[in-house]
């Protein structure tokens, strides 16, 4: 998170929001926001939100799959991602992450699926 300047800014009951700067750290060679940086923001928000929906003394959330569609290029400023729960089950969670530019235009939409596992399974 620190290397890319990702910050968690708001937390709701079934959502989480964060920002990431679009600058030299997050650019691809053509000066646009790198798709991998968008996915890093999406995974950070989705994974963090998943953990907040669990009892950390009993469970952990680990990633199973993530996908992303990049629909608008961004050259500078800040993008904001919002992770919202689509499914909160016993063994899996599915989160949608919408990343928008400073004009609230869609930049990327991502979906992450998380496995819910007992804490002792992850700790081994």
Average pLDDT over residues 31-40: 98
> What is the chain's mean pLDDT, rounded?
96
Indicate which residue of 2, 10, 13, 43 is catalytic.
43
- The rounded distance, in Å, linking the Cα atoms of 45 and 39 is 10
Model pLDDT, residue 13: 87
Q: With bands split at pLDDT 50, 70 and 90, how would you rate the model's confidence at 121? A: confident
- pLDDT tops 90 at residue 124: no
Residue ranges and CATH numbers for the domains of the chain are: 2-121 (3.10.129.10)
Model pLDDT, residue 15: 96
Instruction: Tell me, yes or no, if 43 is annotated catalytic.
Output: yes
Check: CB of residue 112 under 8 Å from CB of residue 66: yes
Average pLDDT over residues 9-19: 96
Taking only the tens place, the pLDDT of each residue in 97-117 is: 999 999 999 999 999 999 999
Q: With bands split at pLDDT 50, 70 and 90, how would you rate the model's confidence at 122? A: confident
- Describe the chain by its helix, strand, coil percentages, rounded to 5: 20, 50, 30
- pLDDT tops 70 at residue 123: no
Taking only the tens place, the pLDDT of each residue in 45-98 is: 999 999 999 999 999 999 999 999 999 999 999 999 999 999 999 999 999 999
């Amino acid at each position: 998170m620190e290397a890319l300047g990702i910050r968690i800014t708001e937390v709701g009951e079934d959502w989480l929001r964060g920002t990431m700067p679009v600058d030299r750290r997050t650019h691809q060679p053509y000066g646009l926001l790198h798709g991998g940086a968008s996915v890093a923001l999406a995974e950070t928000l989705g994974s963090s939100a998943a953990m907040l929906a669990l009892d950390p003394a009993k469970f952990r959330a680990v990633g199973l799959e993530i996908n992303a569609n990049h629909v608008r290029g961004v050259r500078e400023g800040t993008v904001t991602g919002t992770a919202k729960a689509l499914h909160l089950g016993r063994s899996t969670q599915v989160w949608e992450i919408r990343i928008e530019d400073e004009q609230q235009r869609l930049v990327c939409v991502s979906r992450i699926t998380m496995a819910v596992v007992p804490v002792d399974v992850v700790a081994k």
